[in-house]
Structure 1
Amino acid sequence: MEAKQGKANIVAIALIPLVMVLGNSMLVPVLPTMKSKLDLSGFQVSLIITMFSLAAGLIIPLVGYLSDRYGRKWIIVASLVIYGIGGVVSGLAAWLMDNSYGMILIGRIIQGIGAAGTSPIAMALIGDVYSGAKESKALGIIESTNGLGKILSPIFGSLIALIIWFAVFFTFPILCFATAVFVWFGVKEKKKKKGKPLPEYLGALKQIFKQKGRWLIPAFLVGSVGLFILFGVLFYLSDILEESFKIDGIIKGCILAIPLLGMVVTAYITGAKIKQNKPLIRKIMVTGLLLLTGAMLAVSFFQQIFLMVGLLTLGSIGTGLLLPCLNTLITGAVEKAERGMITSLYGSVRFLGVAFGPPLFSWLMKISHQIVFFSMAGLSLVTLIIAFLFIKPGKSKKGETGSEQKLATLFRKREKVPST
């Protein structure tokens, strides 16, 4: 019975990032059509992605605190409902209004607010429900589910757009409301005492960053850059497939899915293998960044479609090595009482990375193909150096680093709980 409940938990939680990632990835193949139908500039159409991600990035820290104080599940369910409502707003605007662009952006902002309480809180919920190797494996599963959503969503987005381009907006409420019901009845959240008041909570966070900020902040930055490059590349690839190669529809969706397939398979295997082995995690993370840097540099010399897709897939494999390592390090960095805020801060910088990818790529594309990928290779190389020099969490000892043991003692003293 317990095993069945455990499976129900992970299936329900895994649906959350799947739905969240559809918010951007399912729209990527539709963006060129939207640009044409609404007579938008490249920058304007990039804001369809940016406003969603920017809203999510700004709201996530607040949602993280609320989830620590009052519980994860109800935050996730409420967020899914808001996410769905935003889809309805954008869809109705595109359908019924002549000048719909502004209202579509408002709907996207509402969706972003809803998305803030989905995947980052799911990561914290996994940390509450699982521990040790099971936690790493579960985090690998949700990163893979996130990637699976990225694989399927360009294909689904292309298929749904065959009905009419804005039909994709009406897909969100259906998926969000169904997932909200599944999470509400399928996830059994462990009972815990009410979280700390805000002043005490912020004080504990200050201690966390004092103890671990030297590697935790660079880890946040590395995750943000990984998502920045991924979504920028998808935006670029979607545009050139249609503009330069005249590839549209389901074929375009399938081509966009190829790099993401490399990422999702790699993320799943990585999450299952790394467990809590910090030296191994660091080696895999550096290897992933090396692959990403090399792929960005190589693709700058080629514009043939098959070579580009192959090299971008190699870069995505590097991202698939990177992200589960960061998830495991960051989720395990703190006590459960502050985990929602830490994973939410991490989710926030990831969303901000996604937000700025498309508009910056849109600007660089006006210069040249070489400039786009030379820039990304340089950025990835700088990120690799930062990861190598600064992301050095302490070695595990009985499940905790030395700083973790000190921090745990500090929390116990604050809460007047005897140390065991």
Structure 2
Amino acid sequence: MREKLLPFVIGLLPILMVLGNSMLIPILPDIEEDLHLGSRWSGFILSSFTIPAALVIPFTGILSDRYGRKRLIGISLWIMILGSILCIFNGGLISLFMLGRGLQGVGAAGTMPLAMALIGDLYQGEERSRMLGSLEVFNGIGKVAAPLIGATLAQLVLWDQSFWVFPVISFVILVGLRQTVESTKGFRKLDVKAFSAVFRSKGRLLIPLYVIGGTGLFLLFGILFYLSYHIENTFHIDGFFKGFSFIFPLGAMTICSYWCGKRLKTDEELGWTYLKCGLITMSLPLGLLIFFSSLGSLMFFLTISFGGLGLTLPVINTFITGSVSEQERGMVVSLYGAVRFGGVALGPVAFGVWRQDPAQMYIITFGFTLMNILLFALLSVRRKGEARIEI
């Protein structure tokens, strides 16, 4: 029973992180109206969550190496609960609401990255690859469901009451972890010399993987931001059908992540093959968008491209967690989480500027995918003669 419950409990951690911003997008107008904010505050409402999370994520990894994954996840969830309560009982004060959002971001720092590190500690071989793939599946499910959850709750209750979702999910995770995971031990204190030693020995592998993963999330959230704007203003699609249109590209990413995680197992060479195929599959359709702009073409090419991203993310997760020892895993994985979250935070900002000229935006986007392919080519050359990754 515990073995069946554990994947679900760990999978709720990335969902909790995704809900932190994606759930709010449909209810931002209600928040602005009730708190008497201008539309320019929408970005601050989102960034007040993402910026603290990106800054705190590396420290949660280092502390989890020292004091244990389970303990740090628990502390993070209690901070998330506290921040959510401040958002619920904000009393119409923007300062109290923004403080709550900041605490939510600090709490979110101990979700997805520590979930990856915990899986690396608890599982080996095929099970580790499968579980890391399932994390991206839960992540994708969260991305699809979050806007629908936010829009539905806004119809049923006041917007501030929708923040009860976070304490409820947090309590479920806390109870689930208590039932399924023994208290994880802490390791030696990681000093600066040990930190630099890891990247001297593994940096040629880790840094390109960080950049590829972060760039993938940057493009994902930037394109989703643009798509939300584009299909409403150009094709006049709004409401439920607008939310439904996101299911196709995000669904393709989720399915491909599940398929990749299930098949990857312990075959490192297969992982490199999937990574190559995923990067090419992501790049080519985005290049074709330079020449085709109809709604059908847009949705078709984005669905294929996001499917390619779904192939790459489980491989990167597996390679990063398997490239270092248990004592260093929290730090290394959390740094990757910070890079990913930085991409999530910067994507909408950049595409908000680039969307004024869609043709140029597609060229820039295609350029980022070519950069990832170039990084993969460099990795392929460098990895020859180096030790295998223990996946």
User: Is TM (by shorter chain) over 0.5?
Assistant: yes
Equivalent position of 1:196 in the other structure: 188
Alpha-carbon offset, residue 394 of structure 1: 4.6
Task: Please tell me whether the aligned partners of residues 24 and 147 of structure 2 are also in contact (alpha carbons under 8 angstroms).
Answer: yes
Equivalent position of 2:199 in the other structure: 209
Task: Please tell me whether the aligned partners of residues 276 and 328 of structure 1 are also in contact (alpha carbons under 8 angstroms).
Answer: no
| 1:247 counterpart SS class | coil
Q: Distance in 1 between matches of 2:384 and 2:179?
A: 39
Q: Distance in 2 between matches of 1:301 and 1:107?
A: 44
Task: Please tell me whether the aligned partners of residues 51 and 355 of structure 1 are also in contact (alpha carbons under 8 angstroms).
Answer: no
Show the 5 A alignment for 1:382-397: 382-390=371-379, 394=383
Please, which of 265, 272, 282 is the counterpart of residue 272 of structure 2?
Answer: 282
More deviation, 341-350/12-21: 12-21
Please, which of 102, 127, 130 is the counterpart of residue 123 of structure 2?
Answer: 130
Task: Please tell me whether the aligned partners of residues 46 and 362 of structure 1 are also in contact (alpha carbons under 8 angstroms).
Answer: no
Q: Distance in 1 between matches of 2:327 and 2:164?
A: 37
Task: Please tell me whether the aligned partners of residues 2 and 179 of structure 2 are also in contact (alpha carbons under 8 angstroms).
Answer: no
Structure 1 residues 109-145: Cα deviation after superposition (integer angstroms, max 9, x where no partner)? 2111101111111111111111011110111111111
Q: How many residues align?
A: 388
Alpha-carbon offset, residue 403 of structure 1: 7.7
1:320 and 2:314 equivalent? no
Please, which of 132, 140, 151 is the counterpart of residue 139 of structure 1?
Answer: 132
* Counterpart amino acid of residue 46 in structure 1: G
Q: Taking structure 1 as the reference length, what is the TM-score of the superposition?
A: 0.85
More deviation, 4-13/259-268: 4-13
Structure 1 residues 272-317: Cα deviation after superposition (integer angstroms, max 9, x where no partner)? 1112322221221122121222222223444433332222111110
Alpha-carbon offset, residue 165 of structure 1: 4.5
Q: Distance in 2 between matches of 1:107 and 1:197?
A: 31
| 1:402 counterpart SS class | coil
Task: Please tell me whether the aligned partners of residues 65 and 328 of structure 2 are also in contact (alpha carbons under 8 angstroms).
Answer: yes
* Counterpart amino acid of residue 136 in structure 1: S
Task: Please tell me whether the aligned partners of residues 157 and 253 of structure 1 are also in contact (alpha carbons under 8 angstroms).
Answer: no
Show the 5 A alignment for 1:7-406: 7-31=4-28, 40-41=38-39, 44-93=41-90, 96-97=91-92, 100=94, 103-163=96-156, 164-189=158-183, 191-192=184-185, 194-199=186-191, 202-365=192-355, 367-390=356-379, 394=383, 402=387
What percentage of aligned pairs have identical amino acids? 38
Alpha-carbon offset, residue 404 of structure 1: 7.2
| 1:188 counterpart SS class | coil
Distance of aligned partners of 1:226 and 1:47 in 2 relative to their CA distance in 1, 3 Å threshold:
farther
Alpha-carbon offset, residue 320 of structure 1: 0.1
Task: Please tell me whether the aligned partners of residues 262 and 317 of structure 1 are also in contact (alpha carbons under 8 angstroms).
Answer: yes
Q: Which runs of 5+ in 1 are unaligned?
A: 406-420
Q: Distance in 1 between matches of 2:354 and 2:20?
A: 24
Q: Taking structure 2 as the reference length, what is the TM-score of the superposition?
A: 0.91
Alpha-carbon offset, residue 230 of structure 1: 0.8
Alpha-carbon offset, residue 36 of structure 1: 7.5
Q: Distance in 1 between matches of 2:29 and 2:365?
A: 23
Distance of aligned partners of 1:90 and 1:8 in 2 relative to their CA distance in 1, 3 Å threshold:
same
Task: Please tell me whether the aligned partners of residues 50 and 354 of structure 1 are also in contact (alpha carbons under 8 angstroms).
Answer: no
Alpha-carbon offset, residue 32 of structure 1: 6.2
Q: Distance in 2 between matches of 1:47 and 1:311?
A: 31
Alpha-carbon offset, residue 166 of structure 1: 4.6
Alpha-carbon offset, residue 393 of structure 1: 7.3
Q: Which runs of 5+ in 2 are unaligned?
A: none
Q: Distance in 2 between matches of 1:302 and 1:36?
A: 38
RMSD, matched Cα: 2.5
| 1:58 counterpart SS class | helix
* Counterpart amino acid of residue 85 in structure 1: L
Structure 1 residues 75-127: Cα deviation after superposition (integer angstroms, max 9, x where no partner)? 1122122123323333444xx42x73x55443322111101111111111111
* Counterpart amino acid of residue 66 in structure 1: L
* Counterpart amino acid of residue 111 in structure 2: T
